[in-house]
Amino acid sequence: MTPEHLELINRIRSSVEVLRSAFEAAPAGKHDHQPLEGEWSVRETLTHLRNVVVMVYGLRLRRLFYEIDPVFADYDEAVHREASLKQPEPVGDVLKMIFAEHEQIAGLLSTLPDANWQRQGRHPDLGPMSIEFLARRTAEHAEEHAAQIANTAKILGADFAGL
């Protein structure tokens, strides 16, 4: 396995630790509070992240393992996030699902021959997407939302420090 592919697999695994740290910094019991008007709460962010890693990145990666040039369906993030939030799950369970999906993706990628990392499918609007691209986005997406949660935790911690 190339060093670049090994680094991507390790990054997918380590991104969950960054996410865990950010989540643990959020004030307990405040996961449904928006840090600022119009911004996502910790629950909204985690729900979005879980939905995308399972229903977009994970599904597309799996399809690329056994399909030749699949066409990926569009994903309406807002509709799925809102539907998921109507029946809220414990945030710890959502976090566990994110961790499990990242580990499954990393495990699958660790068995992939280097020559297959460039296999790609096509999104009707976004164009070609390779296994390598989707693996990178899996890690980046978790890191981006970990930073968002860390910022939310900081704001909420300051807002609730005097209570």
Which residue has better confidence, 88 or 146? 146
pTM to 2 decimal places: 0.91
Mean pLDDT estimate for the chain: 92
Q: What is the 3-state secondary structure (H, E, C) of the chain?
A: CCHHHHHHHHHHHHHHHHHHHHHHHCCCCCCCCCCCCCCCCHHHHHHHHHHHHHHHHHHHHHHHHHCCCCECCCCCHHHHHHHHHHCCCCHHHHHHHHHHHHHHHHHHHHCCCHHHHHCEEEECCCEEEEHHHHHHHHHHHHHHHHHHHHHHHHHHHHHHCCC
Query: 81: domain CATH number?
Result: 1.20.120.450
Instruction: Print the domain residue range for 77.
Output: 3-160
Q: What pLDDT, on the 0 to 100 scale, is given for residue 161?
A: 45
Q: How many domains does the structure of the chain reveal?
A: 1
| pLDDT tens digits, one per residue of 2-48 | 999 999 999 999 999 999 999 999 988 889 888 888 899 999 999 99
pLDDT, tens digit (0-9, with 9 covering 90-100), for 93-113: 999 999 999 999 999 999 999
